[in-house]
């Protein structure tokens, strides 16, 4: 079993541009989910809703913000039972880390906590496979979204 899902990408845009794309609900819904609501503070709650993008059936995920350190770290917990306070062992942690590289941004996404979940090994393996592919797709969509915004602002 893999301890975490990790992906990174170099995006041709400054950190502040990528930060807004990763944290602002109106932008999240342009590359990740179909709709997003997020209270951007530690402990803040939100929802991510998929109806068409990267899903075979509509889904809504509740999230709880764990870390918000503009413009470098944004982390939230998800995949927890309704009415439960998310913590290590009952939820997964998604962390976006942004690092400037010249005029570009290195974005690393880490989804961790799968090993601690009370799931069958087969369910963990399926989740890891689906989300490994999902993050590849979403980060590609993010890169394309930021490039499109950059081209539009250059006009």
Q: So what's the pLDDT on residue 153?
A: 82
Angle between helices 15-23 and 121-154 (to 10 degrees): 130
- Residue 31 CB neighbour total at 10 angstroms: 19
* Tokens describing residue 133: 């592919």
21-59 confidence digits (pLDDT tens)? 999 999 999 999 999 999 999 999 999 999 977 567 889
Beta bridge partners, 73, equal: 69, 97
Q: Six-digit token pair at 73?
A: 């770290």
Report how many domains make up the chain.
1
> Residue 71 is part of which domain span?
4-154
Q: What is the pLDDT of residue 55?
A: 63
Segment holding 139, helix H or strand E: helix 121-154
Which CATH number do you get for residue 43?
3.30.530.20
Is the predicted pLDDT of residue 1 greater than 60, yes or no? no
Residues whose CB is less than 8 angstroms from the CB of residue 85 and which lie 6 or more positions away in sequence, other chains included: none
Q: How many angstroms separate the first and last alpha carbons of the chain?
A: 48
Burial class (CB in 10 A: 0-12, 13-18, 19+), 95: middle
- 3-class secondary-structure state, position 2: coil
Question: pLDDT by residue (tens digit) across 49-108?
Answer: 999 775 678 899 999 999 999 999 999 999 999 889 999 999 999 999 999 999 999 999
Residue-level pLDDT at 141? 96
**Interatomic CA distance for residues 13 and 137, integer angstroms:** 19
């Amino acid at each position: 079993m893999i301890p975490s899902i990790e992906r990174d990408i170099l995006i041709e845009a400054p950190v502040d541009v990528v930060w807004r794309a990763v944290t602002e609900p109106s932008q999240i819904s342009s590359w990740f989910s179909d709709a997003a609501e997020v209270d951007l503070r530690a402990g803040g709650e939100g929802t991510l809703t998929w109806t068409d993008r990267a899903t075979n059936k509509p889904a809504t995920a509740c999230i709880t913000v764990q870390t918000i350190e503009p413009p470098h770290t944004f982390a939230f917990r998800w995949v927890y039972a309704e009415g439960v306070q998310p913590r290590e062992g009952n939820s997964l942690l998604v962390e976006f880390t942004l690092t400037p590289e010249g005029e570009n941004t290195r974005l690393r996404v880490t989804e961790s906590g799968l090993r601690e979940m009370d799931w069958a090994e087969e369910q963990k393996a399926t989740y890891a496979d689906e989300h490994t592919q999902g993050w590849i797709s979403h980060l590609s969509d993010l890169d394309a979204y930021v490039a499109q915004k950059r081209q539009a602002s250059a006009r």
